Chain A
Amino acid sequence: AQSVTQLDSQVPVFEEAPVELRCNYSSSVSVYLFWYVQYPNQGLQLLLKYLSGSTLVKGINGFEAEFNKSQTSFHLRKPSVHISDTAEYFCAVSGPNTGNQFYFGTGTSLTVIP
């Protein structure tokens, strides 16, 4: 089975500063990679996904992520955060070898400080 590691459980950052949320996964075989955001008392919303092609993926709300196969990483970045970005962020892995299953990391709580 796949495993997904989000190294930082909490990330505080000042408004308008850049942020990087880290994600590593276990398998080097073909994978699909996702970042989801969860605002308080809501379900998860897709930020971006990598299925194939360009390793730099752009998503909603100014976020982007880079697929690095050699380091089995898919870190999420934003050059300038807003207060409204305060939320929980989840990295997830799926793929042709996982059947229909998605494997989620434990989440990173991003807090943007005014």
Chain B
Amino acid sequence: DVKVTQSSRYLVKRTGEKVFLECVQDMDHENMFWYRQDPGLGLRLIYFSYDVKMKEKGDIPEGYSVSREKKERFSLILESASTNQTSMYLCASKTSGNEQFFGPGTRLTVL
């Protein structure tokens, strides 16, 4: 069965901290994505990766970076967390058949 896992379901951090959100997929997909989800705004793409060590900016990359050292793992990094980055973060990977599979999400609160 297809599986995308995220390292934490809930996370609380302080302003200025460096935050790592991890995502792992077991489907050998080349494409992986990070979104943030906010009420009334839907899902907005932060970054995506189409291969190991390759990345592309999405619609809202400011304040974020990513790392893809291995095919199965895609990390989202908040270099210096701010309160406006409090959100739900969703990771996804994509099949060649254009279907995205989502992880359960990480609800991040920055105090």
Flag B26-42 by CB within 8 Å of A: 1 or 0 each: 00000101010000111
Q: Does A49 contact B105, Cβ atoms closer than 8 Å? A: no
Contact: B100 with A46, CB < 8 Å? yes
Q: Which residue of A lies closest to B44 (CB)?
A: A104
Q: Which residue of chain A has its CB nearest to the CB of B101?
A: A46
Please report whether the interface of chain B is mostly helix, strand, loop or mixed according to DSSP: strand
Which residues of B in the span 37-57 have a Cβ within 8 Å of any Cβ on A? 40-45, 48, 50, 56
**In the complex, A102 Cα to B44 Cα: how many Å?**
9
Total chain B interface residues with beta-carbon distance under 8 A? 27
Binds B, one of A37-45, A54-62, A63-71, A75-83: A37-45
- State in angstroms the CA–CA spacing of A77 and B103 once bound together: 26
Which residues from chain B contact A106 at a C-beta distance below 8 Å? 40-42
Is A9 an interface residue when CB atoms closer than 8 A count as contact?
yes
Query: With the chains together, A42 CA to B45 CA distance in Å?
Result: 18
The smallest beta-carbon distance between A54 and chain B, in angstroms, is 17
**Contact indicator A49/B42 (Cβ below 8 Å):** no
Asked if B13 CB lies within 8 Å of chain A CBs, one says no
Q: Is the CB of B4 within 8 A of A94?
A: no
Contact (A90, B102) CB under 8 Å given A43-B90, A100-B48, A101-B58: no
**Can you identify 21 A-B contacts, CB atoms within 8 angstroms?**
A6-B42, A34-B100, A41-B105, A42-B104, A42-B105, A43-B103, A43-B104, A43-B105, A44-B90, A44-B92, A46-B100, A51-B97, A51-B98, A90-B42, A90-B43, A92-B100, A104-B42, A104-B43, A104-B44, A105-B42, A106-B41
A-B residue pairs, 5 tightest by C-beta: A43-B102, A106-B42, A104-B43, A44-B102, A104-B42
Q: Enumerate chain A interface residues (CB-CB to B < 8 A).
A: 4, 6, 9, 32, 34, 36, 41-46, 49, 51, 90, 92, 94, 99-102, 104-107
In addition to A45-B102, A106-B42, 6 A-B residue pairs with Cβ atoms within 8 Å of each other are A43-B4, A43-B104, A44-B90, A94-B98, A101-B45, A102-B100
